[in-house]
Amino acid sequence: MAARNAGTELELGWISKVYVNPPAVVRHAEQIQKWRTVKGNWQAAWLLKAVTCIDLTTLSGDDTPSNVHRLCFKAKHPIREDLLKAMDMHDKGITVAAVCVYPARVTDAVNALKAAGCDIPVASVAAGFPSGQTPLETKLAEIKLAVQYGAREIDIVISRSLVLSGQWEGLYEEIRQCREACGEAHMKTILATGELGSLANVYKASMIAMMAGSDFIKTSTGKEVENATLPVGVVMMRAIKEFYWQTGFKVGFKPAGGIRTAKEAITWLMLVKEELGVEWLKPELFRLGASSLLEDIEKQTSGILVSQASDNCYVQAHSVVSKGAPFVHM
């Protein structure tokens, strides 16, 4: 993870005159979707970059120690060895960024990753995930338990009612207390943007979450009707940029929910590069919340290598994965 966001005092002046132009935001997002995507070997390289930014997730009621162990094995070996060898990336330690589970499964994940001999961090959802309809005392206790079990990252969820009723002081205080309960664990704050009512509220909630010390802001739980969308991503990234200009703290961004295809993953990478710059294209500042994305990335990578076998493929892969990302090559 990047250096911690120390947060700031509550500055309501930063959000008091916020205006978001939804049609303009939507048009901007649509333009990015229409861009020609990266092709051939460059596409394979960008897909490897996406892999290194994935929070590989299982958040099901029927999760068991055995399926968490399988998830952790996939986290350490996200791409087939033969594909990595074809790109000369088999010895570069390509793994996902983190494994994300419920608090009750944190110990299973920690033990599985330790047995596998890798240092992939375990992230735990907490604070009344996914609804947030839990007393604050219970939220804080759940966070502390997840950290005690070995979670190094905590994905909290906010109380949406505080946003919808404009209780910004209450939202700030809730997130601030969650941050304190995390201790040394990095905190990602899930805004559940599909339930906030407007893009203006998304921007305001993003700013409040960062003021309160969030190390990442995250779009969704993956359980809402509407999860990660590009217009929401644009608004949240503009808030991240403004917070950085105001404070000098770099806050990470995590879209989650409904990201299932390699093409969607690359679109999010391109949006981050456009809005925040290449320096955000690393796991310390960008994550993709996904449970089934790896399967399509592996499938697409295999197809690229078969159709465009080239001695240059490993050059692109090294450039993108080791340096963050080049300018988009069409």
Catalytic residue IDs? 155, 218, 254
State both tokens at 56.
């590989």
In angstroms, the CA 323 to CA 46 distance is 11
56 CB-near residues (< 8 Å, 6+ apart): 71, 74, 75, 78, 96, 98, 99, 100, 290, 291, 294
In angstroms, the CA 63 to CA 48 distance is 27
Please give the DSSP secondary-structure letter assigned to residue 107.
Answer: H
Instruction: Verify cis geometry, omega within 30 degrees of 0, for the bond prior to 130.
Output: yes
298 CB-near residues (< 8 Å, 6+ apart): 78, 79, 80, 83
One-letter amino acid at 231 equals P
244 CB-near residues (< 8 Å, 6+ apart): 250, 251
H/E segment holding residue 176: helix 168-182
- Residue with structure tokens 């999860």? 227
Q: 10 and 277 in contact (C-beta within 8 Å)?
A: no
State both tokens at 38.
């990266």
Q: Which of 185, 217, 215, 180 is nearest to 202 (CA)?
A: 217
